[in-house]
């Protein structure tokens, strides 16, 4: 009976650890995805992502960038 009880405890512990990892990882992954959307909008508009901002360069189209951000409201 002790062995079965120990296995049940390990199963519960494993489930809890998986839940904690998922709880921590989800916001991190969401943040990374949103940041990637913003960088992609910048690049697609002809800009260069540098210093946490979209830097203008030859061929940059602000309207394209703004429209992309509008179409992706989660982009930060």
Q: Is residue 66 in a domain?
A: yes
Work out how many domains the chain is built from and give that number. 1
pLDDT of amino acid 2: 59
Q: What residue numbers bound the domain in which 44 lies?
A: 2-71
pLDDT band at residue 3, thresholds of 50, 70 and 90? Answer: low
pLDDT digits 0-9 by tens, 5-23 = 777 889 999 999 999 999 9
Q: Is residue 20 in a domain?
A: yes
3-state secondary structure 18-62: HHHHHHHHHHHHHHHHHHHHHHHHHHHCCCEEECCEEECCCCCCH
pLDDT digits 0-9 by tens, 22-76 = 999 999 999 999 999 999 999 999 999 999 899 999 999 999 999 999 988 887 6
Q: Is residue 76 in a domain?
A: no
């Amino acid at each position: 009976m002790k062995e079965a009880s120990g296995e049940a405890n390990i199963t519960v512990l494993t489930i809890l650890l998986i839940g904690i990892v998922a709880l921590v990882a989800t916001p991190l992954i969401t943040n990374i995805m949103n940041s990637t959307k913003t960088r992609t909008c910048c690049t697609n508009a002809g800009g260069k992502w540098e210093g946490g901002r979209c830097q203008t360069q030859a061929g940059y189209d602000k309207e394209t960038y703004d429209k992309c951000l509008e179409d992706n409201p989660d982009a930060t």
